[in-house]
Amino acid sequence: MILAAHNAFTYFRPRYTIGWLGAPFARCQSKTWQEQYDLGVRLFDTRIRFDRDDKPYFCHGFYPVRTPYGQTVESVLLDVSHKNDVRIDIKLEERYDDGNDRQEKLFKEFIERLAPKVVEVADLSAGVRMRDWAVIAPINDPVRNSDTWGTFGANFGSIEKPFLWGACPWLYAKLHNRKNLEKAKREGKEVFMLDFVNIQ
């Protein structure tokens, strides 16, 4: 079974100091992507938005994080892709239609720029918009241009947290990751996505 990391890049520091207040409710991973890989992760769930300067940043909902000095979203994803046996699942973190297509335009441009570099060495899903799961940034591959996990179909499984549990991903992972993984294996899931992949 392939292990997938939900919101794989939320281990980075919050983009703003006040973000530390939201970290316990929005951070879904505590290990670096390299450590996640060493734990068996081969699918990296990635959410991005763009700032006022049109630069992409990793985020989870309204919780933005920043890459370390000298790194960018693109450089991080290219580093991940060079593992060769991974898939990067990238989404535009847009939950509501605000009538402004700026984020979508920048997202499409980002995927167009990133895809040729990544698909040479790894797998990249088509770019998806979070609010309706529509593919808005297709890449030149008919298999990948299905819905986000379409290539896995019914063999994809994910954590299904009740609403209140969603407010504390770490505690949910601590109490439920092991039994959720065991259930996924019994059901023959090909892929299973977890918060805090180090808790198993």
CATH number at residue 176: 3.20.20.190
Residue 190 maps to a domain: yes
> Does pLDDT of 165 surpass 80?
no
In whole angstroms, what is the distance from residue 180 CA to residue 185 CA? 9
- Overall domain count for the chain: 1
Residue 124 maps to a domain: yes
Residue 28 maps to a domain: yes
Q: Which of 125-134, 160-169, 185-194 has the lowest mean pLDDT?
A: 160-169
How high is the pLDDT of residue 166?
65
Report the helix count and the strand count for the chain, using DSSP H and E. Answer: 5, 10
pLDDT tens for residues 78-89?
A: 999 998 889 898
Taking residues 50-76, report their average pLDDT. Answer: 95
Q: Is 162 exposed, middle or buried (0-12, 13-18, 19+ CB in 10 A)?
A: exposed
Q: Which amino acid is at 150?
A: G
Residue 48 maps to a domain: yes
Instruction: Provide the whole-model pTM.
Output: 0.89
Q: Is 133 left (phi over 0), alpha (psi -120 to 50) or beta?
A: left
Residue 200 maps to a domain: no
In whole angstroms, what is the distance from residue 155 CA to residue 151 CA? 9
Domain that holds residue 82: 2-194
Residue 199 maps to a domain: no
Residue 80 maps to a domain: yes
